[in-house]
Structure 1
Amino acid sequence: MNSTEKERNPLLSRAAFGHDFHWGVSNAAFQVEGAWNENDKGPSIWDTFTQKKGNIYGGHQAKIACDFYNRYPSDLDLMSALGIPDLRFSISWPRILPKGTGKVNPKGLAFYDRLVDETLEKGITPWVTLYHWDLPQSLQEQGGWINRDIIHWFEDYAQIVVKTLGDRVKNWMVLNEPMVFTGGGYFLGIHAPGKKGLANFIPAVHHATLCQGIGGRVIREFSPGANIGTTFSCSYVEPYRDTPRDHKAARKIDALLNRLFLEPALGRGYPINDLKLLQRLERHMKPEDEELMKFDFDYIGLQNYTREKVKFSISTPILWANIVKAENRKVHFNEMGWEVYPESIYHMLHQFSAYPEVKKIIITESGTAFDDKVKNGEVHDPNRTKYIQDVLHQVWKAKQEGVPVQGYFIWTFTDNFEWAEGYRPRFGIVYNDHTTQERIIKSSGQWYSDFLKS
């Protein structure tokens, strides 16, 4: 690319974001590790959920996934060769505590000890997520996130992990996308553990909110000086039509998708005024909970993939709102059915940064899924490359306008197991052949490498 083109687009240089901006990729234990029952690991709710017919696209399972448990040294070598300086990964709770509580599995802790050591040896900074959805099945049999005892189970688990890794890991995330794992797993039933209805969803929301704050305090206690965050899924929400009913419906969906877990962490309580059904949370509140829900996070992890258009709907009682699918709006969408709309991240950066309590934002997930194919031993994915470039333009624009955004992590490094969608959607910048485990750097991965080395 010539100098004239570089002058027109400062995003062609990593330096445009500043020397203190973090660059990385993200993954999650269940989606990449495999080794589902090796070295005394216990079953998770996703191990159980994937074994039930009809739950996962194509009957796919994650027993091997990307075999990261065994192949992490070569994956880290590849990451290092590409010049990727930061890796976000999660800890598998049932690999540490096979029964969820009680006896610790030393083999599980040893794996993460080795993983952290090797990332550091290769010059890669580890960013660790305590909970990325793989709850021990034994705890689900006691109610899982519906049981208030989970705040004690989670606290004990977090202490074990932080005490073990906190001398080397300085960047932490407590929960990954609590709205998704409570909504998908305890309301819609499309994710593990497959529970449905408000009676499951409401207590799960409250207990996850409590664990969000408790986890932050555990990290602060046992890893003083750590950089502590938690992550939120978010979508830019707009009314489908410019009518009072659609505007009201959009406010409800925004409260549900974007504010439900963020505002309690900031000390603002639940957004009940815009979403009356959240009044049901009050029956689960105890006097000490207002304080337990709060935590002064060093940063907020923002995870954005799309925008949503919302309209008033009489067919959805309680909410009276419905999301209009991208395919029905005749807009460009990806393999997940999500609208390809890079501007969404700009709007969400401004929305989150408008809270004075938010000190710093790290984009802990950003990416897209397309139907990638191998041709002549190569994978060309220009649509993903363009998407990343367009998103980075929006991030840079927001940063120039004063938004305190300090990092960008692509979801994801290698194509992996995408929950209920199985292996069909490919989000990786590195292609993974799920049969042979061959890795092929996609053209988007090469672009990211060139960008980081520029």
Structure 2
Amino acid sequence: MSRARPDVPAAPFVWGVSTSAYQIEGAVSEAGKGPSIWDAFTSLPGRIVDGSDGSTATDHFRRYKEDVRLIADLGVGAYRFSVSWPRVMPSGKGRLEQRGVDFYLRLIEEVASAGVEPWVCLYHWDLPLALQERGGWPNRDTAYYYADYVERIATALGSGVARYFAMNEPNVHALLGHVAGVHAPGVSDLMAGLAAVHHLNLATGLGVERLRSARPGTPVGSILNLQGFVPARDGEEHEAAAAFADTAFNRAFLDPLFRGTYPEPLDGMLESVIESGDLEACKAPIDMLGVNHYTRLWVLADGSAPAGVKLVDPPKGVTRTAMGWEVAPEGLLDVLKRLKDEYGNPPVYITENGAAYPDGTRMADGSVDDGARVRYLHAYLNAAADAWRAGCDLRGYFAWTLVDNFEWADGFTRRFGLVELVPETLERRPKRSYRAYRDLVSSGVWPASLTELER
């Protein structure tokens, strides 16, 4: 950084912002794009809170230059976005759709020309519907279709991508989409969920290897959502429930990635879908781990709930976001220290962190006064600084997200953006948090200027 101090990283700390294709692009049936599982899921009555979908989203497909200007004006060093698999390979296999590839080539060029590094994630939950009709992630073949897609798209995108991430949050995708059924593809089946867990892990490893082959010298990683689980009541059964939730959500993905094993009791539960060589493939070495973190979760033992674990609301009196999530920055510190202590202290980038809040209060200029979001960012960035001081190999932070977007099952009812999206016109209006984050990034000092966020 420009002004070195004893408590800042010696290497440049990367500031960034993140988005995902389905949540912002729109144009779901244009330029040869095929349907995804989210296109199908959003068409089902009652699946999305406000009945919305991603058909327009933020219209990023047409307005990407405007969004890149906002990113450049933030002063960040990197922009993490995802490629839509069905946009570039409509059936999930076979030929590339050149019109889709060309869109991403234009986007990459625009980002790089703005002085920002393009960091590309190759899967953010939008599986081609044609592959879901063949069984989706519970079908082992999907991992190999994915690996072929990764190799072909990475080759087609050329040398303009600064870093690649193979997957985004396979743990959330497997559990919410295949066990709880509240995300696409809307499956509620424990055995299907277990198969999806393993095949997503296998796909990650295969994808990492294909990326290395296609783009030698380009750093490669993957992204996990890592959360702590807290028993909501005293008692051994509730402590056991929290431990199992941690195993199913965190360790079921960390252990294959870093150790080439599954933790008990999942190793036995997954035995029927693991084939020879799979665990070695899952352990394909990565150059960095992306960590998405928002909150910590409270659980109870409940025999009627899936796997005997029930998620419950945080205790009364704690500060929460509009999602109902506890604001608990110590949870981020715990996650990062765990990676240091238990998983070899890998290079880590916080690839998503942010909060949803209502946009009711306005400043004198008419922009959203999202002071609660500013305080959230302040608290979590201070926790990140504490993790770095504790020896965690933390190398960057990406805010979630640039613009209010389609927030999955919550539709447009939850707003995470640093920039307001005006629904009627799709106009972008920077919020107070956008300016606060910009000022932090431009200060050139981390973490000395974190208190500036609250001013």
* TM-score normalised by L of structure 2: 0.93
**1:334 corresponds to which residue?**
321
- Greater CA drift, 243-252 or 95-104: 243-252
Structure-2 separation of matches of 1:55 and 1:119: 34
d(CA) in 2 for partners of 1:243 and 1:52? 40
Cα distance, 1:86 vs structure 2: 1.0
Task: Find the partner of 1:23 among 15, 34, 44.
Answer: 15
Matched ranges for 1:281-300 at <5 A: 281-300=270-289
Question: 1:201 corresponds to which residue?
Answer: 193
Secondary structure at the counterpart of residue 132 of structure 1: coil
* TM superposition shift of 1:358: 4.2
Quick one: distance in 1 between partners of 2:114 and 2:405? 23
Equivalent of residue 373 in structure 2, options 384, 401, 404? 384
- What corresponds to 1:256 in structure 2? 248
Give the partner amino acid of 1:336.
Answer: M
Secondary structure of residue in 1 paired with 2:32: coil
1:391-429 Cα offsets, whole Å, 9 max, x none, are 111100110110101010001000100000000100011
Distance in 1, Cα, partners of 2:167 & 2:439: 32
Residues in 2 aligned to 1:374 and 1:310: alpha-carbon distance in whole angstroms: 33
Q: What CA distance in whole angstroms lies between the structure 2 residues aligned with 1:295 and 1:115?
A: 29
Letter in 2 for 1:442: K
Q: Equivalences for 1:414-433 in 2 at 5 Å?
A: 414-433=403-422
1:222 to 207, 214, 218: 214
Give the Cα–Cα distance (whole angstroms) in 1 for the partners of residues 428 and 267 of structure 2: 45
Name which of structure 1's ranges 288-297 and 84-93 shifts more when overlaid on structure 2: 288-297
Is residue 77–residue 117 contact of structure 2 (8 Å, CA) maintained in 1? yes
Match for residue 7 of structure 1? none
1:451 and 2:440 aligned: yes
* Cα offset, 1:224, TM superposition: 1.2
Report deviation, 1:265: 0.9
What does residue range 355-370 of structure 1 map to in structure 2 within 5 Å?
Answer: 355-370=342-357
Partner of 1:130: 122
Could you tell me whether the CA contact under 8 Å between 1:430 and 1:439 is conserved in 2?
A: yes
Contact 1:17 1:396 in 2 (8 A): no
* 1:67 alignment partner, one of 35, 40, 59: 59
The 2-side partners of 1:351 and 1:92 are apart by 32
DSSP 3-state at the match of 1:189: coil
Q: Secondary structure at the match of 1:64?
A: coil
- Residue of structure 1 in register with 2:174 after alignment: 182
Does residue 311 of structure 2 align to residue 323 of structure 1? yes
Q: Secondary structure at the match of 2:103?
A: helix
2:93 is aligned, of 96, 101, 122, to: 101
1:303 maps to a residue whose letter is N
Q: Which residue in the other structure is 1:394 paired with?
A: 383
CA contact (8 A) 1:170 1:225 kept: no
Instruction: Verify the 8 A CA contact 1:230 1:300 in the aligned structure 2.
Output: yes
- TM-score between both structures, scaled by the size of structure 1: 0.93
Q: Which amino acid aligns with 1:86?
A: A
Q: Pick from 406, 417, 421: which aligns with 2:395? A: 406
Which residue identity lines up with residue 182 of structure 2 in the other structure?
Answer: I
Over 3 Å counting, the alpha-carbon distance change for 1:170 and 1:259 in structure 2 is same
1:166, 1:222 within 8 Å by CA — same for their partners in 2? no
Paired AA for residue 216 in structure 1: V
Output the CA distance in 2 between the equivalents of 1:412 and 1:357: 29
What letter matches 2:355 in structure 1? T
SS of 2:296 mapped into structure 1: strand
Q: Cα distance 1:202–1:32, how it changes in 2: closer, same or farther (>3 A)?
A: same
* Residue aligned with 1:191, SS: coil
Amino acid at match of 1:435: E
Is the Cα contact below 8 Å between 2:258 and 2:343 reproduced in 1?
no
- Residue segments in structure 2 that go unaligned for 5+ positions in a row: 444-455
Distance 1:67 1:237, change over 3 A: same
How well do the aligned residues superpose, as a CA RMSD in angstroms?
1.7
Q: Spell out, residue by residue over 1:230-281, the C-alpha distance to the aligned partner (whole angstroms, 9 max, x if none).
A: 1111112223334322222211111112111111011241112xxx355221
SS at match of 1:70: helix
8 A Cα contact 2:260 2:280, kept in partner = no
- In the TM superposition, structure 1's runs of 4+ consecutive aligned residues that sit over 6 Å from their partners are none
**Residue in 2 aligned with 1:3?**
none
Partner of 2:446: none
Whole-Å separation in 1 of the counterparts to 2:163 and 2:349:
11
2: CA distance, partners of 1:170 / 1:372: 34
1:233-312 alignment, distance < 5 Å: 233-272=225-264, 276=265, 279-312=268-301
1:31: Cα distance to partner? Answer: 0.2
Q: Determine helix, strand or coil for the equivalent of 1:446.
A: helix
Residues 42-75 of structure 1: CA deviation (Å, up to 9, x unaligned): 1111011111111101101111101111111111
Structure 1 stretches lacking a partner, 5+ long: 1-10
User: Which SS does the other structure have where 2:293 is aligned?
Assistant: strand
Question: Does the CA-based 8 Å contact 2:403-2:420 persist in structure 1?
Answer: yes
Number of residue-to-residue matches in the alignment: 437
Q: CA deviation at 1:197?
A: 1.1
* AA in 2 matched with 1:324: V
Alignment of 1:78-93 (within 5 A): 78-93=70-85
Q: Secondary structure at the match of 2:115?
A: coil
Give how far 1:228 is off. 1.1
Spell out, residue by residue over 1:200-249, the C-alpha distance to the aligned partner (whole angstroms, 9 max, x if none).
11111111010010011011111111111111111122233343222222
Corresponding residue SS for 1:364: strand
On the 8 A contact 1:162/1:223 being kept in 2, the answer is yes
